[in-house]
Structures are given as structure tokens and as C-alpha cells.
Structure 1
Amino acid sequence: MRNMPTEPAPRVLEDFEGAWGITRHITHADGTTAEFTGTAQWTHDPGGLIYREIGKLQMAQGPAFQAERQYLWRPGLNVYFDDGRFFHKAPERGGDATHWCDPDTYHVTYDFSRWPDFTATWKVSGPKKSYTMRSQYKRC
């Protein structure tokens, strides 16, 4: 009898709370790359969790510089921009989600199969942007 791969356990909002190390590799359609290394912190707030990442971004040319971003994570793994606009829903067992930002499409695949380590791979396509961004998260 063969061992069947096990499906990842469903994730809930509370699973993400805390500090994570993050590394991100970005590859643009023209072949240029960028690397981000830093921390991601999910902290409690009245509506769910606030996600904040901060680190150093190294573009193909030039010196590294500090970069940061923030999102709101809400029950059901619904993700919002920090101004409250809906962004996407992260599938609880991992998988795909899409966000259209006129005129470009953002497609993400979450992989929770190695929890608590996980990845989020974005493929962005459209007339203004074209890149793949793979973020790896490791619990601190």
C-alpha cells in the first residue's frame, strides 16, 4: 500500500500570530531580480491581525534600502489593504487566490504543506507589471 500525501491542516487566523522571518525573491519578465530579507509580524487588533513586514530590499542595481508594508488579516483568512479595501482570501489549506488591480492581475499560491514554514508565490501579469515573487516564511 502506498502512502498517500496528506492534505495540509486548515489554517486559521490565530495560526499566523507572532513573528516570522521572511525571504523574498522577485524575478521580473526582463530577467532582473530583487531580494528582500526581513521580518513579518502578525499582531492582534480588534478586527483580527495586523500584518507588518520590514526589511532590506536589494534591487539588481544599487544599494539595499529599507522596505515595509502592512495588511489587515481578518477571520476566514480574508486579507485587506491597510486602508480597508479587500485584497484576497488566503485558502485555509493553501492554494490559489486572485486579485485584479486595473489593469494587472495578481495571482497567488499559498503552500502550507510544510507548516509552520510556508510560501506565498505571486505571479503578476498585465500591461504595467510582469513578475514572479516568492516569499518564504519561517516562524521565529
Structure 2
Amino acid sequence: MTSPKRSMPTEMRVLAEFEGVWRIAREIVPDRGPPAHFEGQGVWAPAAGGLDYAERGTLNMAGAAPMVAERRYFWGNDLSVYFDDGRFFHKVPAAGGETAHWCDPDQYHVRYDFGAWPRFDVIWRVVGPRKSYRMTSRFSRLEEP
């Protein structure tokens, strides 16, 4: 007996849907060594041509004191993501799915899963000569804009 094929959502996300405050729960699992956990918030706020994104939270790693971790990006209207210095990072697939970023000498593969919107997951697989880990970030909305 063959199980029915699960249909994937085909709804396309648009930038305005991300605006607001989101809870982030992140797990980082290296190929070797203990995992790390991040808990915090991400905020998408209006900016010229898109949304500024800023996240801040606490990173917990085995054998180390908890530390504040933060990052910033710019998201363009077409879901292109840029580092805070203006360099292109990657483009988010509007329906969810996979994309990648090469940062010599490391390869970053990412999958966006919007199937439980307004919750979503972002799963990174990073491989390089000194990096090798899987990072799963779960976003859930805290506040509308």
C-alpha cells in the first residue's frame, strides 16, 4: 500500500508578512562537539526599499557562560537578503524551499519551511574546512506591526 503524497503549500510569502516581532528558538548541532541553543527575538522593521531585520538573544553553549548574540540583515522587497554591510547574502524562496550561499571556503545551504505559517523554520547546513554544522531556527510571531 502506498501512502498518499503530502501536498506542499504553494502560497507565496511577501515581505510585508514578516514585519513585526518574532520569537526565535535556535539549535546549532555541530558534526563534532556539543550543541548550542539560542533563544531570542527577531524584529523586521520598515526601511527604505524593504525591511531591516535585527535579532538579539542569549546563546548557550556547553562549558561556556551564556552570551548575548545578535545579527542584522536587510530584506529587500523581492525577499533578497543582504548583510548589514550591503553585500548580497541569498534570496528567500517565496513559497519556501532551498537556496544557498558560498562564502569562501564555506558552503551554506538553507531551506525555508513556511508550511505552518505564521510559524516557520529556517534550516541551515554549513560545510567547510573548519565549519560543519546544522542550525535550525524556529520563528513564531509575537507581535504584529
Q: 1:106 aligns with which of 108, 121, 126?
A: 108
Q: Which residue of 1 aligns with 2:123?
A: 121
Q: 2:35 aligns with which of 24, 33, 38?
A: 33
Name the SS for the 2:16 alignment partner: helix
| Equivalent residues of 1:40, 1:51 under 8 A apart | yes
Name the SS for the 1:76 alignment partner: coil
Name the SS for the 1:15 alignment partner: helix
Gaps (5+ residues) in structure 1? none
Name the SS for the 2:94 alignment partner: coil
Deviation at 1:126, TM superposition (A): 1.1
Moved segments of 4+, more than 6 Å: none
Question: Paired residues, what number?
Answer: 139
**Structure 2 counterparts to residues 1-140 of structure 1, below 5 A:** 5-140=7-142
Instruction: Spell out, residue by residue over 1:82-139, the C-alpha distance to the aligned partner (whole angstroms, 9 max, x if none).
Output: 0000000000000001000000000000000000000000000011211000000000
State the TM-score, normalized to the length of structure 1: 0.95
| Equivalent residues of 1:123, 1:131 under 8 A apart | yes
In structure 2, C-alpha distance between the alignment counterparts of 1:95 and 1:3, rounded to whole Å? 17
User: What RMSD over aligned residues (CA atoms) do the two structures have, in Å?
Assistant: 1.3
Deviation at 1:6, TM superposition (A): 4.8
Instruction: Spell out, residue by residue over 1:14-68, the C-alpha distance to the aligned partner (whole angstroms, 9 max, x if none).
Output: 1100000000000011032100000000000012000100000001211111110
Percent identity between the aligned chains? Answer: 50
